[in-house]
DNA sequence: TGACTTTATAGCACTCAATGCCAAAATGGA
DNA sequence: TCCATTTTGGCATTGAGTGCTATAAAGTCA
């Protein structure tokens, strides 16, 4: 693992693992979110999420149970890593897109862009996403985390087409888009399609067709159109 | 052959509330799922879901805590009522549709049909859906319950267009459809659009357009059928 | 009536996640 | 050295959920 310096570690809910730009005051943290996450994911992967207790994670890391909960709000949150940073990236991508680019193209490109990962991160990501889309406790928790994602998309859509982000239009687009993204992720995490962004791209192109039955039929049988062409 | 009428997904996990077609053997149940649900929903509505403990529900119903868990697998499940029965109805609607009817029309009609409720049920349903779409613990749990829903839809789609129900095509359609349904439900539960099936219908028509930006713009500004303005 | 069977219930003990509180440890600065 | 700051760990508590067991209530059969 060559991710020595992970500087984007803004606290999700825990105050710990601060970059601490100024002088370090007080007692130094005895570990990091990344360190905990690595140990925990390893345990989850080997023994299963439910079968791994917080006590086991804590003792594997070398901290107390109480300290674990200062780094992560819950056992579930460990799997999500630095999800919040990605949320900011998505918003930037959506809001920064040229006004004349079609809405669904912007959306597709933005989601694809925010899900580009280096080869070194993919193995861990697959474990994360595999857990998120299969373990009931994590499937459940995902709905809460993805709510923020939907809000970002709904804001974008409302800004494009008018009306309130809470309205049926933006909400439907946002939640349907989330569905497409989740489908892509789940498919990628399950079988070894090593092309995550490709899956996302395909799912969103499909979504933008309105799921016409004939096109969908051809799409399933023959190989679906890959990205390549333009925006 | 006692559990003849318990085929498929009928039993959530609790053995109680059986219609008891044959003669009643053994001690009679001291309450019903409905009775528990009514008391519990009342408490949830007044005090909030998290602030209501299982002990309080049990004592309000007049049973022990342990007995509560024989009727419902969890506190969360109370809010979902007889969700499983609806699942069977959805499958029947989808599979029973004429083969030449367009796929997305079948889907829309099926979801609309399975969400028709009598005027007497609507108040309680609004409380249920309000809770499900706002309380974090229930938002989370909804993802697990809706997984079954998605499976049904994905099966239907795969049967129509070919390929595996696990494939990206059927999964994308299913999850996007779920998104549309959730958006419609949440909008209905929040503001008092008393037309639930109308909201569902609109969301699915929108989904089938592929969210073309221009059409969506007109759709939002000029009120579609009976939505309140600017919602 | 009195066994015997079946079913539902209550109580108890237990695990585990999560939270609040407080004392102790570690660190830099005055 | 004393002090302020920050992290840590232990302790107690709450609340969900589960397994086990004894008991209560009902019908059946002799």
pLDDT of A175? 98
More confident: B158 or A215? B158
Q: What percent of chain B has pLDDT over 90?
A: 73
SS3 category, B191: coil
> Model confidence over A104-119: pLDDT tens digits?
999 999 999 999 999 8
Average pLDDT over residues A35-62: 97
Does position A54 have pLDDT exceeding 70, yes or no? Answer: yes
Nearest-10 crossing angle of helices B168-190, A196-207:
60
pLDDT of A18? 38
pLDDT of B14? 38
Average pLDDT over residues B23-43: 93
More confident: A202 or B6? A202
Query: In three state form, how does the secondary structure of B120-146 look?
Result: HHHHHHHHHHHHHHHCHHHHHHHHHHH
Name the least confident of A37-51, B21-35, B109-123. Answer: B21-35
- What part of B 40-79 touches A (C-beta under 8 Å)? none
Half-sphere exposure of B50 (CA within 13 A, CB side): 6
pLDDT of B222? 65
Q: Which of A183, A219, A222, A223 to mutate to test the interface with B (most CBs of B within 10 A)?
A: A183
**Distance, CA of B117 to CA of B145 (rounded, Å):** 20
**Distance, CA of A159 to CA of A153 (rounded, Å):** 10
- What part of A 177-196 touches B (C-beta under 8 Å)? 177-180, 182-184, 186-187, 190
Name the least confident of A50-59, A64-73, A120-129. Answer: A120-129
Residues of chain B in contact with residue A202, where contact means CB-CB under 8 angstroms, are 168
Closest CA–CA distance from residue A6 to any residue of chain B (Å): 30
Q: Which nucleotides of D are covered by protein (CB under 7 A)?
A: 4-11, 14-20, 24-28
* Distance, C-alpha A13 to centroid of its chain: 17
Using an 8 Å Cβ cutoff, are B29 and B16 in contact? yes
Residues of chain B in contact with residue A206, where contact means CB-CB under 8 angstroms, are 168-169, 172-173
* Residue B37 Cα distances to B54, B74, B125, B230, angstroms: 12, 12, 12, 35
* Distance, C-alpha B174 to centroid of its chain: 15
Mean pLDDT of chain A: 87
Using an 8 Å Cβ cutoff, are B139 and B132 in contact? yes
Does position A19 have pLDDT exceeding 80, yes or no? Answer: no
Average pLDDT over residues A58-80: 97
Number of CB atoms found within 10 A of residue B219's CB:
22
User: φ and ψ at B206, to 5 degrees?
Assistant: -65, -45
Does position A198 have pLDDT exceeding 60, yes or no? Answer: yes
User: φ and ψ at A192, to 5 degrees?
Assistant: -90, 55
Query: Of the ranges A206-210, A214-218, B219-223, B224-228, which is most confident?
Result: A206-210
Using an 8 Å Cβ cutoff, are B32 and B16 in contact? yes
Where does chain A have alpha helices with state H? 33-47, 54-61, 65-71, 77-80, 83-95, 103-114, 119-132, 136-161, 168-190, 196-207, 213-221
Closest CA–CA distance from residue B29 to any residue of chain A (Å): 31
- What part of B 118-157 touches A (C-beta under 8 Å)? 136, 139-144, 147, 157
Domains annotated for chain B, with CATH where assigned, are 33-78 (1.10.10.60), 82-221 (1.10.357.10)
Identify the closest residue of chain A to B142 by CA–CA distance.
A140
Protein residue nearest nucleotide D17, by CA to C1' = B74
A186 strand C contact, CB < 7 Å: no
Name the least confident of A22-26, A143-147, A182-186, B102-106. Answer: A22-26
Average pLDDT over residues A126-153: 95
**Distance, CA of B77 to CA of B127 (rounded, Å):** 14
**Distance, CA of B14 to CA of A5 (rounded, Å):** 51
pLDDT grade for A22, boundaries at 50, 70 and 90: low
Identify the closest residue of chain A to B201 by CA–CA distance.
A168
**Distance, CA of A166 to CA of A144 (rounded, Å):** 17
**Distance, CA of A1 to CA of A51 (rounded, Å):** 26
Average pLDDT over residues A143-152: 95
pLDDT of A55? 98
Mean pLDDT of chain B: 87
């Amino acid at each position: 693992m060559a991710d020595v310096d992970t500087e984007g570690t803004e606290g999700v809910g825990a105050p710990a693992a601060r970059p601490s730009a100024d002088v370090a005051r007080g007692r130094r943290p005895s570990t990091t979110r990344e360190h905990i996450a690595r140990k925990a994911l390893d345990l989850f992967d080997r023994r299963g999420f439910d079968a791994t207790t917080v006590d086991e994670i804590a003792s594997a890391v070398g901290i107390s149970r109480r300290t674990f909960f200062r780094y992560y709000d819950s056992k579930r949150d460990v799997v999500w890593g630095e999800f919040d940073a990605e949320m900011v990236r998505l918003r930037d991508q959506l809001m920064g897109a040229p006004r004349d680019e079609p809405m669904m193209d912007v959306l597709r490109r933005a989601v694809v862009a925010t899900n580009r990962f280096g080869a070194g991160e993919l193995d861990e990501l697959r474990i994360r996403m595999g857990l998120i889309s299969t373990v009931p406790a994590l499937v459940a928790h995902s709905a809460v985390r993805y709510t923020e994602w939907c809000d970002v998309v709904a804001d974008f859509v409302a800004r494009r087409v008018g009306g309130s982000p809470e309205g049926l239009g933006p909400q439907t687009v946002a939640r349907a888009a989330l569905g497409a993204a989740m489908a892509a992720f789940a498919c990628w995490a399950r079988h070894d399609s090593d092309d995550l962004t490709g899956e996302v791209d395909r799912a969103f192109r499909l979504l933008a067709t309105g799921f016409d039955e004939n096109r969908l039929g051809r799409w399933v049988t023959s190989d679906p159109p890959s990205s390549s062409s333009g925006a």
